[in-house]
Amino acid sequence: MVEPLLETVKIEERDCHGGMKLGVITFDAPKSLHALTLDMIRAIDGALVRWAADDAIACVVLQSSTDKAFCAGGDVRSLRAAVAEQPGVVPNPQVLAFFAEEYRLDHRIHTYVKPLLVWGGGIVMGGGLGLMAGASHRVVTESTRIAMPEITIGLFPDVGGSWFLGRMPGRSGLFLGLTGAPLNAADALFTGLGDYVLRQEERAMLLDALALGQWQASPQANHQQLSRLLRSFSAPTSMLPVSEVRANFDAIAALTQAPTLPEVVAAIAAYDGDSAWLQKAAHALGKGAPSSAALVWAMRVRTRHLSLAQVFQLELIVAVQCCAHADFSEGVRALLIAKDNAPQWQPASLAEVSEAYLNEYFTAPWDSHPLRDLH
């Protein structure tokens, strides 16, 4: 059965042995690399809610229609347009709806009882990683390219980034948040963002095997069944490129060991080693929004002892406030609209990001939190 809800999201229920079914959600917006819109978020979340209550659904798969990308993130152009339509309105209704419903979906994936497989082939960025990070079974391939590049648009690593970056080995999550450095499949395995390596060409065979699976009524048994199946398909890690995070782990530790953000930023900027990956990361931080760097550091401190639900609740405040500040609109303009790659950040330097200015991002613009029911 296929539900004709949206042209950009295909929702199917595929029959399996024993009367059980496989729920399959396929993004189909290739021109935007399957960037998430609010309508897409609502379609995905609606399906997950229904399937959670349907005893016949044994397993859920989240994928895209193309090999080039799983999901390149949220539709930030539309968010910028919404801000322009209602300048000075905080929270902007469209911005609030987008982030609140996106984070609710991400939280649902993190806490989903049934096995949920994300095929993370190709580009997985920003909001796409938010969908993938919380899944119970995360597949990466030789084409996987992951990044949280929010520093380039005056945002911060959201969609649970404050949760999963802080759980990466050493201080690698801090480094990745500050620089937006890209990750390959080997990096995903090393940092805990991926679980299984499969060849990109085997996706169709995997879906066929899922339909033939001996699924049961027990979600726990189905988790184990999916794990066994994915292990049987697993490709040798020798086919993957070298993990840049693993190879540069000691250098990352040295560059981020200072106790203050200005010292860490200065150390990364001064990197003069041979790694092209670290050189590009240092360059990206140098061109990124100082306000975003300050938020990466502040969120790392503020979320250290928070629950997953509390992380999403804090991220919603910060995301809404980011869109109300100038850097977000300017960053999207420079990167995606004018494409001049010459953003004029305000504040223009880290030294100009005062504590009072930073605290504006953590001020809730409502009396009752829209995600207060998450737990």
Q: Each residue of 126-156: pLDDT tens digit?
A: 999 999 999 999 999 999 999 999 999 999 9
Strands of 196-197's sheet in order across = 2-3, 9-15, 21-27, 57-64, 116-120, 137-140, 196-197
State the Cα–Cα distance between residues 113 and 155, nearest whole angstrom: 31
Q: What H or E segment, with its residue span, contains residue 229?
A: helix 219-233
Rounded distance between C-alpha atoms, residue 305 and residue 338, angstroms = 40
Distance CA 36, CA 93 (A): 17
Residues taking part in catalysis: 74, 127, 150, 158
User: How would you list the strands of the sheet with 145-147, edge to edge?
Assistant: 69-71, 123-125, 145-147
Q: Report pLDDT for 18.
A: 86
Bin 290: left if φ > 0, else alpha if -120 < ψ < 50, else beta: alpha
Distance CA 273, CA 162 (A): 29
Residues 251 and 273: their CA atoms lie apart, in Å, by: 9
pLDDT tens digits for range 286-299: 999 999 999 999 99
Low-confidence ranges of the chain (pLDDT < 50): 4
**Alpha-carbon span 58 to 13, nearest angstrom:** 10
Confidence (pLDDT) at 77? 96
Among candidate residues 5, 78, 93, 94, the one with its CA nearest the CA of residue 45 = 5
Distance of alpha carbon 190 from alpha carbon 225, whole angstroms: 24
